Amino acid sequence: KGYLSTPELSFAIRHLEALAGMNVSASHNHPDDNGFKFFNEQGAQDIPPTDQTMASYMGDVTEIERTSFADAVAEGRIRALPAELHSAYIDTNLVVRSKQGQALTVVYTPVCGAGDRSVGDVLRAAGYDVRVYGPHNTYDGTFAEIPFRLPNPEVPEAASPALGLANEVGADMVLCTDPDADRLGVFARDSRGRWRYLNGNEI
């Protein structure tokens, strides 16, 4: 009934003691280059050589059997994630904080993805004043509103449209996540009040 961010999927696998998880993902890539991400029982993506073993299994497939979604639900092969999972995810994020939140105004852009329900919900629960940039607060896998249709927070232009709202509301920072919310970009003010982009290494 909704979309789940990649970090929350990783949490869900461990919280529910699942064998694995798969996210059909609109990530930081151009729309033509998105697909799915597979996570092991540790909530992590496999690395060599295990990832190659998995790829070889996929290459060995000669037949695909199908069943309807409704039948799979009726047979108990598909079950909804429990409602309390999201609350547990937020609570866990709050527990691992190194310090309590400050009275900051944060403009956040999920760049047309699932981040507001994870990053946004956690920030709000932590007490921040979160203003979501409206044009990017849609589920749009074409990324029509994103400059160059490249929703990568490691590219400053992805979050740049939200700077207008940040100036309007006097925000302290702008946060940007890619559509599956596992990459982060930040604009913060320098000592002269000018916006400065922080890359992943600086964060």
Instruction: Report pLDDT digits (tens) over 102-149.
Output: 889 999 999 999 999 999 999 999 999 999 999 999 999 889 999 988
What is the distance between the alpha carbons of residues 115 and 160, in angstroms, rounded to a whole number? Answer: 17
Tokens of 101: 């939140």
Beta strands at 105-109 and 173-177: parallel, antiparallel or unpaired: parallel
Q: Is the pTM of this model over 0.85?
A: yes
The pLDDT of residue 119 is: 96
Of the pLDDT bands very low, low, confident and very high (cuts 50, 70, 90), residue 30 is confident
Of the pLDDT bands very low, low, confident and very high (cuts 50, 70, 90), residue 58 is confident
Alpha carbon of 76 to those of 26, 117, 158: distances in Å? 28, 27, 41
What is the distance between the alpha carbons of residues 66 and 126, in angstroms, rounded to a whole number? Answer: 44
Task: Convert 51-88 to b/e letters by CB count within 10 Å (16 or more is b).
Answer: eeeeeeeeeeeeeeeeeeeeeeeeeeeeeeeeeeebee
Q: At what angle do helices 6-15 and 84-95 cross, to 10 degrees?
A: 100
Alpha-carbon dihedral of residues 34, 36, 41, 42, nearest 10 degrees? 0
- Are 106 and 128 in contact by the 8 Å Cβ rule? The answer is yes
The predicted-structure confidence for 145-165, as pLDDT tens digits, reads as follows 999 888 999 899 999 999 999
What is the distance between the alpha carbons of residues 193 and 129, in angstroms, rounded to a whole number? Answer: 19
Task: Pick the closest to residue 39 from 59, 25, 29 (CA basis).
Answer: 25
The pLDDT of residue 1 is: 72
